[in-house]
Amino acid sequence: MFRSKLSLALPLAACVAWSALALAWLTEAAAAGGHASSFRAALLGGSVTIAIAVAAVVWRNQQNARRSIQRQLEVLCHIDPRTLADNASGAVPTLDASDAWREVFEQVHLTLADYAAKAQEAELARATAEMRAQRNAQRAEYLEHILSEMPQPIVAVNEFDDVLISNAHATQLFGFTGDPADYRPLDELVKCEQLVELLRETRRRKSLTGRSCEVELCDAGGCTHWYSATARGFAIGTSESAPHGAVAVLREIDSLKDLQRRNAEFVSSVSHEIKTPLAGIMAYVELLADNEVDDDAAREEYLQVINSQADRLQRLVDNLLNLARIEAGVVEVHKTTLSLNELLEEAMHVVTPAAEQRRITLVSDLSELYLGVFADRDMILQAAINLLSNAVKYTPEGGTVTVRSRLHGHQVQVDVADTGVGLSPEDCQRVFEKFYRVKKDQKMAAGTGLGLALAKHIVEDVHGGTLAVESTLGKGSTFHFMLARSAHTPIAADRDALQPALAQTAE
């Protein structure tokens, strides 16, 4: 501003000085009163006029230049920087070609346009980086949510064996406390040396292949669980010298351990079941082979024992094969219309020797009606034998086993009730599982834990019926199954003749 005022003041001062000098000469000439002096005075007066006019023109040009510069500066101060990069729209006014400031302002425009282009690039880069940061933050949030929702505990360590990541299930299992962002040594948080060593070795080996082991851990409630821990290494970065960490995923295998235990018990039970009759058969066969039995009655008794033990083995093998076939869906089913009461009587006849040996009374309470069912004869007979055999096994000597059949609308119900040791509510829920045997009664009778499971498969899966149990601990159990009545079941025309039998259906 000071320089602009000075540039205007200097020409004006020069004009004023020249005019004052001319005026002084004019005054001196007038005082002399000569013609030459008059000419000279006129000349000086014209010079003064010209000087004043020139000064006025210069002043006006200076004012125009000042206003042009001011306008340019105001436009540059208020213009959108995005329009500086392209002046084709005329957003920035240009100076006249004769303006001394034109070249300067054109250079200023070019510089500002370059800065505007760079600012646009920086803004675009900032927006891109911000969007990328938002996506990364969203991806991290998704990953954290996915990890927290995974049912398996997950723990990751960095190159210093500090806990890097742990999901909610791992935090709950190991009882982690404090801020998850604060890295803490693994051995301080996890009190399982086997799992700590697994992660350490996986990290040290820098191997991307998985290593696994089974560990037993105690949860916050004090309950012990078995887990299969699988650890895998990873590189924290892309360079060859990047540090390596390790992550472990734990999968609860309590059910697998229980299955392994039950399989072991099953193998043991099956071995015992097979070994016991085989030992009896081999003993009696050896006696007969050595001709150590002279009495025909004793020889006949030995043969009966061998035959009964062979039947026992046959039933065991049949149970195993039938259960495997039913579960595999390859069992052959031959359904016909048959009398359910006749099958129940045959099943009672099969288990009568075992009941007499334990002095258990078998009671038949079968309906007087013809209870026809559309079923596979051998399978339903096998299910009935299994239920009766189970009742005889777990009924103390002198007890009673009752078989009852009734007609309920379009269904036939069979009850096998005993006065045995009974089942707890927990045992009632699991008694139909494969290989399951009540622990407190295992010494009472040998078995494989397949009989009831096979009976349930036969009744429900093959014939579409239902099989359930009701029991009171210490008083006995009642197993009852229901099957659909055959559509070909004859109905007597004389209802009065069937009144005693129909009365049983209301019981």
Q: From CA 120, how far away is CA 128, in angstroms rounded?
A: 12
Output the CA–CA distances (angstroms, integers) from residue 200 to 173, 194, 246, 306, in the order listed: 20, 10, 8, 62
Q: How far apart are CA 308 and CA 269, in angstroms?
A: 19
Q: Quick one: pLDDT at residue 80?
A: 62
Residue 355 has pLDDT above 60, yes or no: yes
pLDDT (0 to 100) of residue 228: 93
| Residue 251: predicted pLDDT | 92
Residue 4: per-residue pLDDT: 47
Q: Distance from CA of residue 499 to its chain's centroid? A: 61
- What is the rounded average pLDDT for all residues in the chain? 79
Higher-pLDDT residue of 8 and 189 is 189
pLDDT at 185: 86
Given a contact cutoff of 8 angstroms between Cβ atoms, the answer to whether 157 and 131 are in contact is no
Q: How confident is the model at residue 491 (pLDDT cuts 50, 70, 90)?
A: very low
- Does pLDDT of 507 surpass 50? no
- Given a cut of 50, whether residue 492 has pLDDT beyond it is no
From 220-229, 253-262, 321-330, the region with the lowest mean pLDDT: 321-330
Residue 423 and residue 497 in contact, taking contact as beta carbons nearer than 8 Å: no
Cα–Cα separations (whole angstroms), residue 254 to 148, 258, 260, 275 = 22, 6, 10, 31
Most confident stretch, 50-64, 253-267, 373-387, 440-454:
373-387
Residue whose tokens read 């099953």: 266
Pick 209 or 139 by higher pLDDT. Answer: 139
Looking at residues 312-323, what average pLDDT do you find? 79
Residue 97 has pLDDT above 70, yes or no: no
Instruction: Determine the average pLDDT of the residues in 188-213.
Output: 86
pLDDT of residue 292: 74
Per-residue pLDDT for 378 more than 80?
Answer: yes
Quick check: 376 pLDDT over 50? yes
The model's confidence at residue 502, banded by pLDDT at 50, 70 and 90, is very low
Report the candidate in 444, 405, 403, 404 with the shortest Cα–Cα distance to residue 422.
Answer: 444
pLDDT tens digit sequence for 330-354:
778 889 999 999 999 999 999 999 8
* pLDDT for 347: 93
User: What are residue 287's phi and psi, to 5 degrees?
Assistant: -65, -45
At 250-296, the pLDDT tens digits run 999 998 888 888 788 777 777 777 887 888 888 888 888 887 777 88
Q: What is the rounded CA–CA span in Å between residue 337 and residue 177?
A: 68
Query: Is the pLDDT at 75 greater than 70, yes or no?
Result: no
Q: Report the C-alpha gap between 16 and 10 in whole angstroms.
A: 10
Confidence of residue 128 (pLDDT cuts 50, 70, 90): very high
Percent of the chain with pLDDT over 90: 25
Q: Minimum mean pLDDT among 133-142, 262-271, 307-316: which range? A: 262-271
Model confidence over 12-44: pLDDT tens digits? 555 555 555 555 555 555 555 555 555 555 555
Supply the pLDDT for residue 98: 65
pLDDT at 144: 81
The per-residue pLDDT for 210 is 81
pLDDT tens profile 53-72: 666 766 776 676 677 667 66
Mean pLDDT over 450-455 rounds to 88
313: pLDDT confidence band, cut at 50, 70 and 90?
confident
CB 431 within 8 A of CB 420: no
The pLDDT of residue 29: 53
- The full DSSP string for 94-141 is ---TT-TTHHHHHHHHHHHHHHHHHHHHHHHHHHHHHHHHHHHHHHHH
- Phi first, then psi: give them for residue 420, nearest 5 degrees: -90, -155
Helix (H) or strand (E) holding 350: helix 340-357
The string of pLDDT tens digits covering residues 469-481 is: 999 998 999 999 9
| Alpha carbons within 13 A on the beta-carbon side of 366 | 17
Q: What is the 3-state secondary structure (H, E, C) of 217-268?
A: EECCCCCEEEEEEEEEEEECCCCCCCCEEEEEEEEECHHHHHHHHHHHHHHH
pLDDT more than 70, % of the chain: 75
Positive or negative, the Cα torsion across 61, 67, 71, 74?
positive
Q: How confident is the model over 183-208, as a mean pLDDT?
A: 85
What is the spatial order of strands in the sheet that 211-218 belongs to?
163-166, 154-157, 244-252, 224-235, 211-218
